[in-house]
């Protein structure tokens, strides 16, 4: 991975030899992003019996609500498609303000998980947090224990338990209290 101040410039070779890159989200990515969002909700929504077409409408609506929430809270956020060998594999959305770097969302399609991409991207954000002397924060859904363990392994700690979500934080050494 090259160390730079721009996520656009990230390029890394993953353990299996795949090339990881990012590119900015465009309007052409809408269907991929909805499909990706759907993959993150499969287990949860699989417990409900849906009328034909209802699940798709629900997922599109939820996806739009999530987008609006992020855009409202972090209007200058960066939205990227994660690429494996130039193939769309996921997304990473990052917001910053005067107090923090906020990992708004990181998602990978199931077939691209557990291949090192998340670790590479989080380590880059941790580097950026160190350079800017800001904490790196993220909300983790409590029903996702794998994600919780992943962030703990990288040194994140829970700073607030909000019921359905745990607010986690990684602090650079120079600002640890």
pTM tops 0.85, yes or no: yes
pLDDT in the model for residue 177: 57
pLDDT in the model for residue 47: 84
pLDDT in the model for residue 117: 94
The span from the CA of 167 to the CA of 127, in Å, is 20
Q: Is residue 38 part of a domain?
A: yes
Q: Is residue 57 part of a domain?
A: yes
pLDDT in the model for residue 3: 36
Q: Is residue 17 part of a domain?
A: yes
pLDDT along the chain (177 residues), means of 10: 56 92 95 91 80 88 90 91 96 93 94 93 94 95 87 95 92 75
The token duo for 82 is 């994660």
pLDDT in the model for residue 4: 39
Which range marks the domain in which residue 113 is found?
Answer: 7-175
DSSP 27: G
Q: Give the CATH number of the domain where residue 60 resides.
A: 3.40.630.30
pLDDT in the model for residue 173: 86
């Amino acid at each position: 991975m090259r160390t730079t101040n721009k996520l656009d410039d990230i390029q890394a070779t993953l353990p299996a030899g795949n090339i990881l890159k990012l590119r900015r989200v465009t309007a052409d990515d809408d269907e991929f992003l909805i499909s990706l969002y759907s993959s993150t909700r499969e287990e949860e929504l699989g417990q409900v019996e849906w009328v034909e077409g209802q699940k798709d409408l629900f997922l599109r609506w939820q996806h739009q609500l999530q987008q609006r929430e992020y855009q409202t809270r972090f209007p200058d956020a960066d939205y990227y498609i994660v690429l494996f060998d130039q193939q769309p594999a996921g997304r990473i959305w990052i917001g910053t303000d005067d107090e923090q770097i906020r990992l708004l969302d990181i998602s990978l399609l199931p077939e691209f998980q557990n291949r090192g991409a998340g670790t590479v991207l989080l380590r880059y954000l941790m580097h950026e947090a160190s350079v800017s002397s800001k904490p790196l924060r993220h909300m983790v859904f409590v029903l996702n224990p794998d994600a919780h363990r992943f962030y703990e392994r990288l040194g994140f700690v829970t700073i607030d338990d909000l019921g359905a979500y745990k607010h986690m934080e990684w602090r650079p050494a120079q600002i640890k209290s």
